Structure 1
Amino acid sequence: MSNISRRFWLSCAAVGALNVSFMGSAGAQDADKQDAIELKPIVVEGQERGINAPTVLTERKTARDMQERQVDRIDDIGRLDPGINYNRTSDSINIRGLGENRVLTTVDGIRIPWLDDGARGVQGGISTVDFDTLSTLDIVRGADSSLFGSGALGGVISLRTLNPEDLLTEGKSWGSLTKGSYDSSDRSWNINQALAARANNTYILLQGGYRTGHERENMGDIGGYGVTRTEKNPAEYDQNNLLFKLHQHVDGGHRFGFTAERFYLNNDVHKLDSSTTTYVPGSFWEDKTRKRERISASYDYDGSGDAWLDQASVILYWQRLTEGDDTSAVRRSPPVGDYRRDNTIEETDVGINAIGLKAVEFGGYTHTFKFGVDGYVSTVKQQALGEDNCTPAIFSCAFLHTNQAEMPEVDGGTLGLFVEDQIALYDNRLRITPGLRFDWYERNPQETPLYEKNPAFDGYPADSSDSKFSPKLRAEWDAAENVVLYAQWAQAFRAPSSTELYMTYGGPGTYLRIGNPDLEPETSNGFDVGARFGDDRFGGSVSIYNNYYKNFIDAVSVSAAEAGVPPGMFPMGITEYVNRAHVQIYGAEAKAHYAFSNGWKTWGGIAFAVGKDTDEDVYLNSVPALKGVVGVGYATETWGTDFMMTAVARRNKVENPDSDYNKTPGYATFDATGWWEPEQFKGLRIQAGVYNIFDKKYWNALDIPDSGSVPKDYYTEPGRTFKISMTQRF
């Protein structure tokens, strides 16, 4: 970021600190006035019977849970659950062996797209969320098909940002939340300030955050220039986020809202691992940008028993997500001279989500109907701009694809309609929930001048459209007090992305990587059986699942005849997106916790999965190895400490068993954290943690790409690191 931008954010932090002091005194001055406040604002999100209440396949993590595990960005999400992993290479969440666009992520009910340009390595989406803005995080395992549409094959990460009501508790008219932290894994520090206020029935929230840091450390020990480097490339990044919310409560259980949010991340990377034969050593730089902007209007309703709806929620939104990688270097091999590639992919969505809930007595039983619609229109754009000293006489210029688009601009429409009915039997001890969802999508390529400059351009591809009904059936039985047994069958669906349908990368005389307009949508049948038991003191869960997928979309090598191109035109090979016929992923998960009466507690969990293409009899690299965690802690009213061990088994079951590149050894790491909330300073919390205490060298297997020339040690995780944070709430 520029020095002006940095000074601006530092000024914002200073203003926030002054506001904290002001609100501390203002709160004392308003103490006498608070007795006159009688409004009880609706909070739809937290009601267990409500629209967004967790199901037996959902686990809710609160801001307090994330704070205790020091989860303040997406890199840390694996600390919340052994079955949840973050893939840094693809910038996606992995649940039950699936990631990328097979796990749906939403923020305040608005889906965040996972983008991939298909050829130049620009991909991601989930890292455009500032975790310091979050109030809750819901983890949905598997497909809950009646509630979630395209993309929720592996599961759902549902995020909710802070509302002003979260800070204005106990009738307060002012509220504040300030957080600062330092993380040695990338030498980053951040500051985050949230301010909330109310005037009568009007609530307002303003939140701002800034983080700056460097490259994330690893255990590589080869430095210098060139492709053998295993140390991380030097980098500096700046991240900022702004969130504004306005809520207007109206008598009768109505709440109207407006939200504006902007996230921006800029990461400057000095690519010292670039080829010294192709580029002048030290001349290669990469500027990565990630930006997400959204504006939304919402309506929430919590009605009385006589209303025609018990609850309702509607969101109208506009959102734009942009991913860009701008690289520049000086070539020392023909064409000698300056080289630049500015690669971007962008998706803009305009949509609506609406959901209602109504409980009725029918046929002697209580039926709780949940129904709704979600739909959006989208525009996806991709382009690769740049420069070099190419001439027709230089053969290598055939590989330097620039100032073109690899796919046309694509307009699309997506619509989902769903309904489910929870039927309460035997005094609500047995609950049967059938559900049905209908999904439809259409993708329309548009005339795009930059796409016509593509050397492999051969006219515009055809439109793509399809639809799918996805039923589900779940049964829950309260076998004993605080013991629920359940079983669920659910189908799910994922529409092919614009990249998978329409990408065209390459040129005659070289190679070709193409999309496939005839792709079928992915579908699945998922079976879950499990139990949840206990309470906050002693409890846990266990589940066994088996998921079958059809038309699994993957990129494979094909012949010229299969690709529909003249033989010999692309002598270096053709890769095309195709549908794999059958894929299976099965596994099991278990967790338990126990809190002793003397302040001690213990917890543990384990996650296991196996995934294969059952037709080709090959394993999937997207499935992580067996992982388990166990911890013990002690807490008083003012301080506490936790110690946790994470153990991961060796991963041998990979797609290419003859290569060791994707195989990883087993390991165990140990972490220790502690916190202190001094009685003298109400609302203050200081927390610190040491991670990988014994400086173990290990890999997150999901970070390692399926193939590549980068040394494997480059993908090692950091050694011993520490993190410290301070939070002040008024």
Structure 2
Amino acid sequence: MNKSKLALLIPLLLTSTSYAQSYSQTDAPDETDVERIVVTGSRIVESIDEVPATITIITRQQIEAQLKVSSELQTMLATLVPGMAPSTGTSSNSSQTLRGRSPLVMIDGVPQSTPLRNGALGIRTIDANSIERIEVIKGATSVYGNGAAGGIINYITKRPNGDSAITGEVSLSSRFSAVEFEDSAGQRIEGMMNGQIDNFSYVASASYEEYGLQKDADGDVIGLKYGLSDAVMQNYFAKLGYQFTDDISMQLVFNHYESEQDSDLMDVVGSVNTGVKTYAIRAPEGTDAPGEPQGPNNQNIMLKYTDEEIFTNTQLVVDAYAQEIENIFFFSYVLANLDEGYTGGQSLIKSDKKGLRATLNSQVEWDNLEATFIYGIDALNDKTSQPLVDGRMWVPEMDMENLAGFLQTKWVFEDDFIIKAGVRRENIDLVVNDYSTLKLCRTPDTCSVPVDVVGDTLEYSATTYNFGIRYNWQAYFQPFANYSQGSDISDIGRLLRTATVNDIADIHTEASIIDNYEVGFTSVLDKFRMEFSAYRSTSELGTTNKYDPATGVYMPVRAPQEIYGYEALAQYTFSNDLDVTATYAWVEGKDTANDVYLGAKQISAPKGTINVNWSPVDEANLSLTYLYVGDRKRFDKVDGEYVGDKGPIDSYHVVNVSGHYNFAQNWDAFIGIENLFNQDYYPAKSQAYTYSGYNVKGLGTSVNLGIKYLF
């Protein structure tokens, strides 16, 4: 472990223990209260029972159970969110779509994704230790603008404990392979303290984790592309609040997250088509692994001003935020150009965002009618590019100015009949200066042709609408239906870097309007709860890839798309100490112009889960999670091989278990086991992605042991 960093971190986490006060689990926020509230759907706090859409809330209790197994948010979301594609088993969330489309990842409502050049690293932008709950709103939405084609994943950060000047916790743990222990042990330390002193409140948390070698069911080290072996993660989070009056408050939030894989390993590359897995070995003595450490690095600062009653029955919230992202990818020999002396290359996505949002919330009541009006403006400047570490420019800087106005309304009749309707007007100017595409050579004889492109200002404007209806008729049948639109210009950078024309105006950079339809219901019968929804979404101009054998480059293909599917959830509470939840999700999609199925980058295999939560005694808890991923075999070989993201997916099963025991006042011991039965499998992405080096196996049986102190 990095001794200097750990030496600095431990005092930060432990110095406050001299002021410690007694703390128990009963002091924690009531999870049942949290489950009844959602904030991201229409940008205000409201009851889930008044939202005509499918929503998944991951509570702090569930986060704690999953953290005992793994700190990876991709795994947590795949396990607990119906409609979320299976985890990739790596640091990347490529192919981990939400209902077949990319979701917009946010922290407290502030976008974390890089939609102008989607590098699929947006899910790992904060450590789970800093999160109070996760809200997932499914289906295209215009409420938050560009990048939310599949819905919203909003990380709601921890809130202060208003009952004490200081409370908190410190946790130490180690995770290792139970298949092949050597060099697999990692270390994690995390801590949090929070409280309120008069009108001032605060939350501060820090996490530091060193990963050991990640090993599959055979004991071999998992391949390095988006790998986690030898990675080091750091997250520092702070939230400061001040209550000026009963109505007026301010809040400042800072979050820094980084994860770097700095390893002396190198890949032994296999492929889906040969059936040989990709795994890692130590680089020969005297050689170094090519490239710089890969991984995400981002920091956010957010300032929020709230006036609960700026005028009669109206709340004002103003958010200002800034974000810097620098995500470094793996070294790739595909980025070679031997004529210029490059044997390969390593790209990074750089994105700087600055935004301002003003939201007004007015409420009016009549005899049997309650009306809510949410309206305001969003302003965003996003500068994104994708250079190579060696100085070459792969995707030129895209300078986006986005100004949008919106109105969302909710009408509640007789407490049971809810209608929601809204409109958003989007205006975007995207400036791209003159640039040249890169000459890239997959082999010495297979190269792309560089093109000089004349830049311009691309202008987009769209008006999108949404409408939903819900009837809470009886507890056993609460139906809903909704229609929502989204305007999406995501991943323009991928279109620019593969340009084959000399004028940016001739590149197919048009926005895609996504129409999303959903029907469903919720039923509660005593201790049994069921949710079901079916959906369909269409886009006028989706984007997929097609391999060009002449240049060795995967070229974008823009064509209409249709995606459809269904989700089901059933939960039974046997007692206060035992409950079981089962889910199943199925999704499919087609390029409707060519009548061909969409690949795994968008469409996931069927997924089912079972979660069991049991507290045999007050001092202990056990959680068991079962994941099933089904077959998806839609594609034939091309010239004897599977291509692109269209490899066949075979089913697999994974069981995880975790538990904790409160062995003394304020002290907890915990254990988590991932892949309990050492299932030997390839994750769905590894099976479907035929690209070189992506076919890595899933993690073999891994054990996490730790201890936590509450104060």
Task: Calculate the TM-score normalised by the size of structure 2.
Answer: 0.82
Query: Structure 2: how far apart are the matches of 1:404 and 1:436?
Result: 42
8 A Cα contact 2:117 2:385, kept in partner: no
Query: Structure 1: how far apart are the matches of 2:120 and 2:630?
Result: 29
Equivalent residue number for residue 32 of structure 1? none
Equivalent residue number for residue 464 of structure 1? 458
Equivalent residue number for residue 12 of structure 1? 8
Query: Once the two structures are superposed, what CA deviation does each residue of 1:345-386 show, in whole Å capped at 9, x if it has no partner?
Result: 201011012322221136973211122322211212332243
How has the CA–CA distance of structure 1 residues 537 and 352 changed in structure 2, closer, same or farther, with 3 Å as cutoff? farther
8 A Cα contact 1:234 1:271, kept in partner: no
Q: Shift of residue 613 of structure 1?
A: 1.1
Q: Indicate yes or no: 2:238 matched with 1:244.
A: yes
Q: Indicate yes or no: 2:173 matched with 1:181.
A: yes
Equivalent residue number for residue 594 of structure 2? 616
Secondary structure of 1:285's aligned partner = coil
Equivalent residue number for residue 534 of structure 2? 544
Q: Shift of residue 248 of structure 1?
A: 0.6
Equivalent residue number for residue 152 of structure 2? 156
8 A Cα contact 2:437 2:498, kept in partner: no
Which one of the candidate residues 248, 251, 254 is aligned to 1:257? 251
The amino acid of 1:417's aligned partner reads G
Which one of the candidate residues 82, 98, 101 is aligned to 2:100? 98
The amino acid of 1:132's aligned partner reads N
Query: Structure 2: how far apart are the matches of 1:334 and 1:459?
Result: 23
How has the CA–CA distance of structure 1 residues 718 and 47 changed in structure 2, closer, same or farther, with 3 Å as cutoff? closer
Q: Indicate yes or no: 2:434 matched with 1:434.
A: no
Query: Once the two structures are superposed, what CA deviation does each residue of 1:548-585 show, in whole Å capped at 9, x if it has no partner?
Result: 12100234468xxxxxxxxxxx95367543421x2111
The amino acid of 1:707's aligned partner reads T
How has the CA–CA distance of structure 1 residues 486 and 385 changed in structure 2, closer, same or farther, with 3 Å as cutoff? closer
Task: Show the 5 A alignment for 1:636-647.
Answer: 636-647=617-628
How has the CA–CA distance of structure 1 residues 531 and 725 changed in structure 2, closer, same or farther, with 3 Å as cutoff? farther
Q: Indicate yes or no: 2:610 matched with 1:630.
A: yes
Q: Supply the RMSD in Å over aligned alpha carbons.
A: 4.0
Q: Indicate yes or no: 2:71 matched with 1:72.
A: yes
Q: Shift of residue 681 of structure 1?
A: 1.1
8 A Cα contact 1:464 1:517, kept in partner: no
Query: Structure 2: how far apart are the matches of 1:337 and 1:458?
Result: 21
Q: Shift of residue 65 of structure 1?
A: 1.5
The amino acid of 1:94's aligned partner reads Q
Which one of the candidate residues 566, 580, 584 is aligned to 1:606? 584
The amino acid of 1:541's aligned partner reads E
The amino acid of 2:652's aligned partner reads Y
Equivalent residue number for residue 444 of structure 2? none
How has the CA–CA distance of structure 1 residues 442 and 337 changed in structure 2, closer, same or farther, with 3 Å as cutoff? closer
8 A Cα contact 1:133 1:162, kept in partner: yes
8 A Cα contact 1:674 1:689, kept in partner: yes
Q: Indicate yes or no: 2:658 matched with 1:652.
A: no
Which one of the candidate residues 368, 372, 395 is aligned to 1:368? 372
Which protein has the larger Cα radius of gyration, Structure 1 or Structure 2? 1
Query: Structure 2: how far apart are the matches of 1:604 and 1:133?
Result: 27
Secondary structure of 2:566's aligned partner = strand
Query: Once the two structures are superposed, what CA deviation does each residue of 1:119-138 show, in whole Å capped at 9, x if it has no partner?
Result: xxx65232232111111100
Which one of the candidate residues 569, 579, 599 is aligned to 2:558? 579
How has the CA–CA distance of structure 1 residues 418 and 724 changed in structure 2, closer, same or farther, with 3 Å as cutoff? farther
Query: Once the two structures are superposed, what CA deviation does each residue of 1:98-154 show, in whole Å capped at 9, x if it has no partner?
Result: 35xx21110111101236869xxx652322321111111001111233x22112121
How has the CA–CA distance of structure 1 residues 598 and 336 changed in structure 2, closer, same or farther, with 3 Å as cutoff? closer
Secondary structure of 1:68's aligned partner = helix
How has the CA–CA distance of structure 1 residues 431 and 308 changed in structure 2, closer, same or farther, with 3 Å as cutoff? same
How has the CA–CA distance of structure 1 residues 466 and 667 changed in structure 2, closer, same or farther, with 3 Å as cutoff? same
How has the CA–CA distance of structure 1 residues 536 and 384 changed in structure 2, closer, same or farther, with 3 Å as cutoff? farther
Equivalent residue number for residue 276 of structure 2? none
Query: Once the two structures are superposed, what CA deviation does each residue of 1:385-429 show, in whole Å capped at 9, x if it has no partner?
Result: 43xxxxxxxxxxxxxxxx42123322111222221211122x121
Query: Structure 2: how far apart are the matches of 1:110 and 1:218?
Result: 36
Query: Structure 2: how far apart are the matches of 1:551 and 1:690?
Result: 43
The amino acid of 2:450's aligned partner reads A
Query: Structure 1: how far apart are the matches of 2:702 and 2:534?
Result: 35
Secondary structure of 2:459's aligned partner = strand
Secondary structure of 2:396's aligned partner = coil
Q: Shift of residue 481 of structure 1?
A: 3.1
* Structure 1 runs not aligned, ≥5 long: 29-42, 387-402, 559-569
Query: Structure 1: how far apart are the matches of 2:697 and 2:244?
Result: 54
8 A Cα contact 1:292 1:321, kept in partner: yes
Query: Once the two structures are superposed, what CA deviation does each residue of 1:636-667 show, in whole Å capped at 9, x if it has no partner?
Result: 32212233332222121248687567212112
How has the CA–CA distance of structure 1 residues 516 and 707 changed in structure 2, closer, same or farther, with 3 Å as cutoff? farther
Percent identical residues: 17
Query: Structure 2: how far apart are the matches of 1:573 and 1:328?
Result: 14
How has the CA–CA distance of structure 1 residues 176 and 573 changed in structure 2, closer, same or farther, with 3 Å as cutoff? closer
Q: Shift of residue 51 of structure 1?
A: 0.9
Secondary structure of 1:652's aligned partner = coil
Query: Structure 1: how far apart are the matches of 2:553 and 2:226?
Result: 32
Query: Structure 2: how far apart are the matches of 1:81 and 1:725?
Result: 26
How has the CA–CA distance of structure 1 residues 188 and 465 changed in structure 2, closer, same or farther, with 3 Å as cutoff? farther
Equivalent residue number for residue 305 of structure 2? 299
Q: Shift of residue 323 of structure 1?
A: 1.3
Query: Structure 2: how far apart are the matches of 1:241 and 1:421?
Result: 38
Query: Once the two structures are superposed, what CA deviation does each residue of 1:494-552 show, in whole Å capped at 9, x if it has no partner?
Result: 1143413422589x9xxx9x996442112211111111233995323111111112100
After superposing the two structures, state which structure 1 stretch, 58-67 or 468-477, moved more. Answer: 58-67
How has the CA–CA distance of structure 1 residues 369 and 457 changed in structure 2, closer, same or farther, with 3 Å as cutoff? same
Secondary structure of 2:623's aligned partner = strand
Q: Indicate yes or no: 2:655 matched with 1:670.
A: yes
8 A Cα contact 1:69 1:79, kept in partner: no
Q: Shift of residue 210 of structure 1?
A: 0.6
Equivalent residue number for residue 514 of structure 2? 524
Equivalent residue number for residue 445 of structure 2? none
Q: Indicate yes or no: 2:324 matched with 1:320.
A: yes
Query: Structure 2: how far apart are the matches of 1:303 and 1:24?
Result: 37
Equivalent residue number for residue 352 of structure 1? 356
Which one of the candidate residues 476, 500, 507 is aligned to 2:470? 476
Q: Shift of residue 188 of structure 1?
A: 2.8
Equivalent residue number for residue 110 of structure 1? 110
8 A Cα contact 2:469 2:482, kept in partner: yes
Query: Structure 1: how far apart are the matches of 2:245 and 2:652?
Result: 57
Secondary structure of 1:716's aligned partner = coil
How has the CA–CA distance of structure 1 residues 700 and 274 changed in structure 2, closer, same or farther, with 3 Å as cutoff? closer
Equivalent residue number for residue 681 of structure 1? 665
How has the CA–CA distance of structure 1 residues 223 and 128 changed in structure 2, closer, same or farther, with 3 Å as cutoff? closer
How has the CA–CA distance of structure 1 residues 447 and 468 changed in structure 2, closer, same or farther, with 3 Å as cutoff? same
Equivalent residue number for residue 274 of structure 2? none
8 A Cα contact 1:23 1:176, kept in partner: no
Q: Which has the higher contact order (CA 8 A, sep 6+)?
A: 2
How has the CA–CA distance of structure 1 residues 370 and 187 changed in structure 2, closer, same or farther, with 3 Å as cutoff? farther
How has the CA–CA distance of structure 1 residues 632 and 135 changed in structure 2, closer, same or farther, with 3 Å as cutoff? closer
Q: Shift of residue 181 of structure 1?
A: 2.8
Secondary structure of 2:658's aligned partner = strand
Equivalent residue number for residue 284 of structure 1? 289
8 A Cα contact 1:66 1:80, kept in partner: no
Query: Once the two structures are superposed, what CA deviation does each residue of 1:666-686 show, in whole Å capped at 9, x if it has no partner?
Result: 1223333222224x313x433
Secondary structure of 1:677's aligned partner = strand
Equivalent residue number for residue 196 of structure 2? 198
* Structure 2 runs not aligned, ≥5 long: 24-32, 178-183, 271-279, 441-447
The amino acid of 1:91's aligned partner reads N
Equivalent residue number for residue 444 of structure 1? 431
Query: Structure 1: how far apart are the matches of 2:227 and 2:410?
Result: 53
Q: Shift of residue 156 of structure 1?
A: 1.0
8 A Cα contact 2:362 2:372, kept in partner: yes
- How many residues are matched? 655
Equivalent residue number for residue 181 of structure 2? none
Q: Shift of residue 252 of structure 1?
A: 2.5
8 A Cα contact 2:401 2:428, kept in partner: yes
Secondary structure of 2:551's aligned partner = coil
Q: Indicate yes or no: 2:247 matched with 1:218.
A: no
The amino acid of 2:697's aligned partner reads T
Q: Shift of residue 609 of structure 1?
A: 1.0
Query: Structure 1: how far apart are the matches of 2:421 and 2:226?
Result: 50
The amino acid of 1:14's aligned partner reads I
